[in-house]
Structure 1
Amino acid sequence: MMDSRDIVFSIVMVVSSFVLTYEWLGRFKPNSANSLIILSAIVMVGALAAMILSLDIRLRRVEKTLDDKERSLRINIQSIESSMDKKMNEVITVVDEAMDVFNKKSYR
């Protein structure tokens, strides 16, 4: 269900958050990179990646459900259409027979 590229993108997000946070903290003071800040940034980006992947899975599930319902609806409509065709043909046959009887009586 989940593509390997999604997992790769998530890993890239986490690694880039580590590098970005480490380098950004190093700009202010050398060797001042606080590991708690870096860990927090990694967890935050990891949670964001997980949320995005979860949303993608939910959207795919909703899309599959809609496709299934559309297919079911299409089959039901075709069934109703064929049923209506049969009934209309029966009505047309009865009306044609009635018209023939009426025409025969009117010409006598």
Structure 2
Amino acid sequence: MIVTSAVILAAMVALLFLSVDAKLKKIEEEISEKERSLRVSMQSVEQEVREKVDTATRKIEDVRESIVKRGYR
């Protein structure tokens, strides 16, 4: 009877470890998925900011050129 109880206890502990392992893998996959999503969002924001900075730089350059041309007239 003690041997049977020990075997059952060992089996339950093994099942507990397997359950914990499965939950940890699921959490890890969810974190990886969120990380990928965040990375894509950051790249999108980075591209948008880069485009806005380029546009602003071009506008400033156009204004500067306009001012320089007026100065020579």
Structure 1 runs (4+) deviating above 4 angstroms are: none
- Cα deviation 1:12-31 (Å, max 9, x = unaligned): xxxxxxxxxxxxxxxxxxxx
C-alpha RMSD of matched pairs (Å) = 0.8
Higher relative contact order, chain-length normalized (CA < 8 Å, sep 6+): 1
Q: Quick check: which has more Rg, 1 or 2?
A: 1
Alpha-carbon displacement from aligned partner over 1:71-90 (angstroms, at most 9, x marks no partner):
00010011001111111111
Alignment correspondent of 1:7: none
Could you tell me which runs of 5 or more consecutive residues in structure 2 were left unpaired when the two chains were aligned: none
More helix per residue: 1 or 2? 2
Percent identical: 30
Give the number of equivalent residue pairs.
Answer: 73
